[in-house]
């Protein structure tokens, strides 16, 4: 636990990039996408699946170039998505060297890591609601922290396992505590920073908490199939970028589409 706390504190400076927003936050998102997709692909390689890191990296840079030249023009994003799937499919034209799984894993990495994390940048560019980018992190990390401690206090006997096949230590007590923690933290943020929509912040906190835990369990499911414990060793006590930001990959789309479909 001491290692986890120290590692968590080491990540605090990253909050400066969220505060600064704009190019700083976009740069952080690019870095997380590149490092995260590399870790995911290394996990696939443990299964003798060889996705194309070159295609994924190229797709990442094209996505952010589109964002730089054509912000908020989503037809270009649809074109990018189609082109990325095509490039992933073309990758297996060397039929004697590559498998269908190689193409599918490449597509997954681009959509799951690169595209999902890109939603952080899109939230930051919603102008009036740009401050809600903090809810992406709050709903993810507050859920994780409150789930850890509520699970330790109330579910340590392990009587109510959440998903024993994926994460044996997670309990329903922890899941409920994490959800309540996210609602409280997001609600306080809304009350203090955006009082006009604080009720919406509560709702985002609830939905974000549920999807945050789904994101965590999704990453665990992949790791189980890959036969690895962690995606990397970059962050002591946490693993790699994917181990730390797996829940953010699910909360970022939640916040963005809530803004677009409900608030705007």
* Residues 139-183 pLDDT 10s: 998 998 888 777 667 755 556 777 777 777 788 888 899 999 999
- Which structural domain range is residue 56 located in? 2-263
- Please tell me the distance from the alpha carbon of residue 8 to that of residue 136, in angstroms, as a whole number: 17
Report residue 132 as tokens.
Answer: 């809600």
Query: What's the whole-number mean pLDDT along residues 250-263?
Result: 96
What confidence tier does 3 reach under pLDDT thresholds 50, 70, 90? very low
CA nearest neighbour of 28 among 258, 255, 254, 248: 248
| Least confident span in 16-30, 111-125, 200-214 | 16-30
- Please tell me the distance from the alpha carbon of residue 146 to that of residue 253, in angstroms, as a whole number: 22
Q: Is the pLDDT of residue 262 over 60?
A: yes
* Number of domains present in the structure of the chain: 1
Q: For the chain, what is the mean pLDDT?
A: 89
Query: What's the whole-number mean pLDDT along residues 38-52?
Result: 95
Contact predicate 225/217, CB 8 Å: no
Q: Is the pLDDT of residue 248 over 50?
A: yes
CA 209 to chain centre: 12
Reported for 150-156, long-range contacts at CB under 8 A and 24+ positions apart, including other chains, are 150/174, 150/176, 150/177, 150/178, 150/180, 150/181, 151/175, 151/177
């Amino acid at each position: 636990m001491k290692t986890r706390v120290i590692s968590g504190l080491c990540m605090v400076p990253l909050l400066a990039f969220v505060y600064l927003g704009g190019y700083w936050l976009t740069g952080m998102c690019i870095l997380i996408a590149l490092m995260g997709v590399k870790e995911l692909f290394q996990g696939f390689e443990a299964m003798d699946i060889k996705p194309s890191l070159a295609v994924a990296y190229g797709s990442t840079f094209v996505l952010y170039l589109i964002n730089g030249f054509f912000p908020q023009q989503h037809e270009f994003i649809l074109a990018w998505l189609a082109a990325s799937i095509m490039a992933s499919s073309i990758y297996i034209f060397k039929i004697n060297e590559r498998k269908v799984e190689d193409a599918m894993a490449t597509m997954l990495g681009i959509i799951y890591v690169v595209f999902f994390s890109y939603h952080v940048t899109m939230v930051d560019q919603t102008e009036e609601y740009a401050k809600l980018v903090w809810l992406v992190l709050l709903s993810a990390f507050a859920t994780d922290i409150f789930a850890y401690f509520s699970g330790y206090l109330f579910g340590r006997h392990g009587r109510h396992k959440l998903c024993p096949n994926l994460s044996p230590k997670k309990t329903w007590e922890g899941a409920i505590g994490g959800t309540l923690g996210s609602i409280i933290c997001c609600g306080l943020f809304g009350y203090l920073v955006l009082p006009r929509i604080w009720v919406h912040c509560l709702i985002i906190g609830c939905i974000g908490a549920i999807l945050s835990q789904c994101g965590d369990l999704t990453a665990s499911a992949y790791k189980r199939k890959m036969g690895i414990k962690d995606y990397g060793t970059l962050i002591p006590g946490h693993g790699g970028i994917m181990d730390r930001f797996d829940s953010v990959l699910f909360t970022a789309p939640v916040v963005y589409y809530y803004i677009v479909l409900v608030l705007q």
